[in-house]
Structure 1
């Protein structure tokens, strides 16, 4: 049912999905979503994953999973984290990947505001969990959701962080965010 809903809603709002790799990669990966200038990226990404019938999770403040609407947030893939406590998110994510396969959405900017550089957690999570990084983006100019560009586990283990970040920075040059003034294309 989600697959049908995802396809229908994307068609209604005029967006399309461009898959840039093997759809099977979306079953188990760290999904880096950028630019993150609006909550619209999450909604569009969720619809894309529904349309492709792929498992998706997102780490979110636990206040959203504990609220009256918490069951809905959890059903949409929300994993609640108490952000007032020090959490070992890397090992938490490794343990989650031991339980099941899914794409874990990470927005390395950490906010919808302009930032000087990305946080590195997504990189360390992918290395520790031995899963690829898959790059995703919503291009608001052309109404395209790009999914599937993969940085393999082998690349993560043999290339430097800087090399990988340069590759990702180059990738995102083609993307027009919803609010360009909130996006810093220099990500590292």
Structure 2
């Protein structure tokens, strides 16, 4: 079994399926058959996005890692967040998270990292481009995955290989996300 997929855990899978079913959500599309990649999960505008992501992770048995602000990792839930693949990030410290993530890809032949380019649930004027620089530095593709609240689905889209033309690549990536409606559309960034 690939290290990107966890051993069967009927309780976690049941929990994930139950959460998605109760919320009326489904998963469409398939992840690529690759050992290493970054999933862009967008648009991140609500705490409910995290609930859907964890349910998605459980259903697909993904051994995916994700960044979260350090306050999520405090007692009593810190251990659970780490168990679910979380990596605490302190935004108040000058740390090169891009290089740390690139190094993690170098150290692990099988590695999935899920990132939200907004970096917050609030309105943003632009996406943080760390996901792009990590992908370029690690030589891995981006998998575009959208939360579509209008149709209640997690949509797994295409695999995208960054070309090095950041502006053109970002326009193409944002074009993919344009049709998907987040929980709070007024917070979503769709480009210029």
Structure 2 length-normalised TM: 0.85
Do 2:32 and 2:159's aligned partners in 1 also have CA atoms closer than 8 Å? no
The offset of 1:159, in angstroms, is 4.7
| 2:190 is the alignment partner of 1:180 | no
Secondary structure of the 1:57 match is strand
Do 1:54 and 1:102's aligned partners in 2 also have CA atoms closer than 8 Å? no
Give the aligned partner of residue 102 of structure 1.
Answer: 111
- Please give the alpha-carbon distance, in whole angstroms, between the structure 1 residues aligned to 2:154 and 2:14: 17
| 2:146 is the alignment partner of 1:134 | no
- Please give the alpha-carbon distance, in whole angstroms, between the structure 2 residues aligned to 1:99 and 1:8: 35
2:122 pairs with one of 113, 129, 132: 113
What CA deviation, in whole Å up to 9, does each residue of 1:30-54 have, x standing for no partner? 2111111102112212211221121
- Please give the alpha-carbon distance, in whole angstroms, between the structure 2 residues aligned to 1:116 and 1:56: 28
| 2:97 is the alignment partner of 1:89 | yes
- Please give the alpha-carbon distance, in whole angstroms, between the structure 1 residues aligned to 2:72 and 2:124: 24
> How many corresponding residue pairs?
181
Give the aligned partner of residue 88 of structure 2.
Answer: 80
Structure 1 length-normalised TM: 0.86
5+ residue gaps in structure 2?
1-8
Do 1:139 and 1:176's aligned partners in 2 also have CA atoms closer than 8 Å? yes
Give the aligned partner of residue 6 of structure 2.
Answer: none
5+ residue gaps in structure 1?
none
- Cα RMSD (Å): 1.9
What CA deviation, in whole Å up to 9, does each residue of 1:47-100 have, x standing for no partner? 112211211211122343343321111011111233322101111102222333
Do 2:148 and 2:154's aligned partners in 1 also have CA atoms closer than 8 Å? yes
The offset of 1:139, in angstroms, is 0.6
- Please give the alpha-carbon distance, in whole angstroms, between the structure 1 residues aligned to 2:88 and 2:31: 29
- From the two aligned structures, give the one with the greater helix fraction: 1
